[in-house]
Chains A and B, each alone.
Chain A
Amino acid sequence: MIGVGKIKQYSNILDKPLSKGKQEVSLSAYAFLFSELVQYNQTQVDNIAELERRLEDAGYAVGARVLELLCHREKGNRRETRLLGILSFVHSTVWKVLFGKVADSLEKGTEHEDEYMISEKELLVNRFISIPKDMGTFNCGAFVAGIVRGVLDGAGFPAVVTAHFVPVEGQQRPRTTILIKFAEEVLRREARLG
C-alpha cells in the first residue's frame, strides 16, 4: 500500500487557523459535483422517498459541520438557544455563507404552531435540475432540507425538515419551500423559557 512506511507529518487540523471562508469555486464545479451525488444515490435506491432520504442524509452531514464552523467563526462560540434565534440564524447566517444571500422568506405556518417555512425562489441545488415526470414530487431540495435539519439538530432543536415545490403564479419555475416541523420537546422548552 502506498503511503505506508512514510513518516506521516501529523498536522492537526485543529491547529490550523480557521479560514475566513471567502474562497469561491465556480458554480459549474458545484453543479457537476452535486449532479454526480444525485446520480450516484439514484443507483442505490429503488424509490423516490429513499432517494430523498439519502440526499437528506448527505445534507445533514453538511449541516452539522456548518453549525460548528459558523458558531466558531461568526458567533464567538455561542449558539442560539431560542427558537426564533436559531431560525433566523439558519435563514440569515447559514444561508448567506452557503448560498451567498439571505433566504427569500421565513414564515410561521398558519395551521400548526410547530411549523415554519423557509422559501427560496430558486434554490441553488434545483437550478440545473428538471424533474422527469415519472419521478413525481422528487425534490433535490431534500439536500438543503438535510442541511437545515443538521444545523437545527446540532443546536438542540430536533425537527423534521422536508422540501416542497410550490407553484408561483406567473412564473414558470416553482419556488422551493423548506418546511420545518419541530419536535414536541422543542416547543415545550420554548414555552417554559417564556
Chain B
Amino acid sequence: MAPVGPRSGDAIFANMERVNAELFTLTYGATVRQLLTDLEEVEEVNKQLDQMGYNIGIRLIDEFLAKSNISRCVDFKETAEVIAKVGFKMFLGVTASVTNWDADGTCCSIILEDNPLVDFVELPDTFQGLYYCNILSGVIRGALEMVSMKTEVTWIRDVLRGDDAFELQVKLVKQVPEEYPYKDDE
C-alpha cells in the first residue's frame, strides 16, 4: 500500500463523530463548578483541572496518532505546528496559531482564536486566580509526554481575565530518550 500522508485537521474533523459544542461547554462548566465547591481553593482547582487534562492527554494521543497519520515530528517546531493546526482542529474544531518562538526553538506560544470551553462564561471577581481552561494545558502536557517530550505549559493570556486572546506557552523541558520497555535478560 502506498504510504498515506498526514491528513489535514479539517479533513479529520469533518470525518469525526461530533457533538454540539454547547453540551461540551456546559458540561465543562459544571465540572469546574463542582471542583470549586469541593476544593474551595482556586489553586487546588487549577491543579485538579491540569491533572484531569493530563489524564486525557495521555489517552488522547493514541487517537490522535491513529487518525492523523502523522509520523515523528523532526523538531519541536513541527510538533507545535501539528498541535495547533491538527490537534486543536481535530478535537475541538478550532484553529490555533504558533508564534513567539525563542532563539533555540524550545519555547513558543499557541494562540487560540476560538475557545469552545469559555462560551457563556464570566469569571467572577472572587475567582480571579482561576485558570478556567487549565484542562487544555494538561492535555498538551500529557499528550507530549507520551511522545517522549517533557513540557511545561502555562497560560500567558486569557480572555476571561481581561486579555485580548488565549495564549498558551509551551516550553520543551527535555526530550526523553526512547528506551525499550524490556531488558535483555528477560
Q: Which residues of A contact B (CB under 8 A)?
A: 1-4, 6-10, 12-13, 19, 21, 23-30, 32-34, 36-37, 39-41, 44, 54, 57-59, 61-62, 65-66, 69, 97-100, 124
Report B36-66 residues with CB < 8 Å from chain A CB. 38, 48, 52, 55-56, 59-60, 63
Given contacts A6-B161, A61-B29, contact A100 B19 (CB under 8 A): yes
A-B contact pairs, 7 of them (CB 8 A): A1-B129, A6-B163, A21-B20, A28-B63, A37-B27, A62-B23, A65-B120
**Contact across chains for A25 and B27 when beta carbons are under 8 A apart:** no
B91 to chain A, nearest CB (A): 4
From the candidates A8, A27, A40, A62, name the one contacting B19 in the complex (CB within 8 A).
A27
Q: How far is the CA of A33 from the CA of B23 in the complex (A)?
A: 11
**Contact across chains for B116 and A57 when beta carbons are under 8 A apart:** no
A103 to chain B, nearest CB (A): 14
Is B128 engaged at the interface, CB distance under 8 Å to the other chain?
yes
From the candidates A12, A26, A32, A57, name the one contacting B90 in the complex (CB within 8 A).
A26
Q: Which residues of B contact A (CB under 8 A)?
A: 13, 16-24, 26-31, 33-35, 38, 48, 52, 55-56, 59-60, 63, 90-93, 116, 119-122, 128-129, 135, 158, 161-164
CB neighbours of B33 from chain A (8 A)? 61
Q: How far is the CA of A124 from the CA of B38 in the complex (A)?
A: 26
**Contact across chains for B19 and A30 when beta carbons are under 8 A apart:** yes
**Contact across chains for B24 and A29 when beta carbons are under 8 A apart:** yes
Q: List 10 additional A-B contacts (Cβ < 8 Å) besides A23-B21, A32-B60, A62-B26.
A: A24-B18, A26-B17, A28-B91, A33-B24, A36-B56, A37-B30, A62-B27, A62-B29, A66-B22, A124-B19
Given contacts A23-B93, A29-B24, A37-B27, contact A3 B16 (CB under 8 A): no
CB neighbours of A34 from chain B (8 A)? 27
CB neighbours of A36 from chain B (8 A)? 31, 52, 55-56, 135
**Contact across chains for B16 and A69 when beta carbons are under 8 A apart:** no
From the candidates A2, A4, A25, A44, name the one contacting B38 in the complex (CB within 8 A).
A44
A173 to chain B, nearest CB (A): 17
**Contact across chains for A97 and B20 when beta carbons are under 8 A apart:** yes
CB neighbours of A37 from chain B (8 A)? 27, 30-31, 34
Highest count of chain B CB atoms <10 Å: which of A4, A24, A25, A32:
A25
Given contacts A37-B27, A65-B120, contact A1 B128 (CB under 8 A): yes
**Contact across chains for A3 and B120 when beta carbons are under 8 A apart:** no
B56: nearest chain-A partner, CB-CB: A32
**Contact across chains for B55 and A26 when beta carbons are under 8 A apart:** no
B14 to chain A, nearest CB (A): 10
**Contact across chains for A7 and B162 when beta carbons are under 8 A apart:** yes
From the candidates A19, A30, A41, name the one contacting B27 in the complex (CB within 8 A).
A30
Q: How far is the CA of A147 from the CA of B89 in the complex (A)?
A: 28
CB neighbours of A97 from chain B (8 A)? 20, 22-23
Q: How far is the CA of A156 from the CA of B178 in the complex (A)?
A: 60
B9 to chain A, nearest CB (A): 11
From the candidates A13, A26, A32, A57, name the one contacting B120 in the complex (CB within 8 A).
A13
Given contacts A25-B18, A27-B18, A28-B60, contact A9 B162 (CB under 8 A): yes
A85 to chain B, nearest CB (A): 22
B143 to chain A, nearest CB (A): 11
